[in-house]
Amino acid sequence: MIKQLSVMLLAAVSLGMMQPSPETIGSIERLDPELDKVISPGARAEIIATGMDWSEGPLWVERHKMLLWSDVPRDTVWKWTEKGGKEVYLTPSGYTGSIPRKGEKGSNGLVLDPKGNLVLCMCGDRRMARMDAPLDAPQPKFITLADNYKGKKFDSPNDAAYSPAGELYFTDPPYGLERQHNDPLKEMKFQGVYKVKKNGEVVLLIDSISRPNGIAFFPGGKQLLLASSDGAAPNWYIYDVNENGLSNGRIFYSAKNQGQGLRGAPDGMKINKNGYVFSGAPGGIWIFNRSGKLIGKLSGLKAPASNCTLSGDEKTLYITNDMNILRLKLRE
């Protein structure tokens, strides 16, 4: 009887009548009881898509119930839906030039502007741009939002966030240049964090972080969090936001002397409506409260977790984990 039941279940799966359960990965480390407010006991991350070269920049689009992310080496944005699974969404996504090049040429961070248009950090083109097509009919047509500061080209815009005022903030590390900091095409002497005003003016906000990476606003938009992926300064920095730029910069949390032997660094992140921070970090995703206390981790991942995004109701966290895309159910 048990053998017959097993055969019937396998047949149902093969005919599409039943879907196999997604593979789980990693484990939750509860470093503080406060984590129970964020993640339910027993939660596990699931692999919902795989086969990427290097996944980055996840974006949940609530209106279309779809997840988008960049596959940077493949110069492609992928799409995932519960019904359709993984599909190519847009290619090319970061490099529209005609001269063949290596390195991280595709898009990286993805974000929606205040009007709901897709904005991409285009590493290969070294610009911030808006896709000139509807979200449900994507095309590789782009309108440049910013590609230089005072006449000098950016290195490779990496991650971005819109402020509540509708201004675009983004980071510009050297990762998209073929030889990074030593690339002959590099025009800046520093790595910058920038703001694009509504009139298109580009403002340099910070030039003192050697590898600026993830960027996110706390609820209310009066504080900004930045991640430094430099192994010599693996920190998250917090700044006060004002009309003149950023001020009162200080370390929010430092991973110095932590995570030895683990892959990954302070990277892309998202902050929920209650001020909890989810960030790519050594070994997986680290979770902080608004005061900068590390309250938990998703650890035990075999590859770096580069970034994450929240569903519209903030009950699900989607994670770009190198070749995999993960889904982690949060507290209801």
Q: Which domains does the chain have, with CATH numbers?
A: 22-329 (2.120.10.30)
- pLDDT at residue 18 in the model: 52
What phi-psi label fits residue 268: left (phi over 0), alpha (psi between -120 and 50 degrees) or beta?
A: beta
Q: What is the pTM of this model?
A: 0.93
pLDDT: is 305 or 103 the higher one? 305
**Lowest-pLDDT choice from 198-207, 252-261, 315-324:** 252-261
Residues whose CB is less than 8 angstroms from the CB of residue 245 and which lie 6 or more positions away in sequence, other chains included: 195, 203, 205
pLDDT: is 305 or 244 the higher one? 305
Residues 54-82 pLDDT 10s: 999 999 999 999 999 999 999 999 999 99
Give residue for tokens 């119930």. 65
**pLDDT bucket at 261, cuts 50 / 70 / 90:** confident
Residues 317-330 pLDDT 10s: 999 999 999 999 99
Sign of the torsion angle spanned by Cα atoms 74, 80, 83, 89: negative
Residue 141 phi, psi dihedral angles, 5° rounding: -120, 130
Mean pLDDT score of the chain: 93
Is the pLDDT confidence value at 279 over 80?
yes
Percent of the chain at pLDDT > 90 equals: 85
- pLDDT at residue 5 in the model: 42
Distance CA 226, CA 224 (A): 7
Helix (H, G, I), strand (E, B), or coil: what is residue 170?
A: strand
Residues 145-193 pLDDT 10s: 999 999 999 999 999 999 999 999 999 999 999 888 888 889 999 999 9
Is the pLDDT confidence value at 144 over 80?
yes
- pLDDT at residue 20 in the model: 65
Is the pLDDT confidence value at 21 over 80?
no
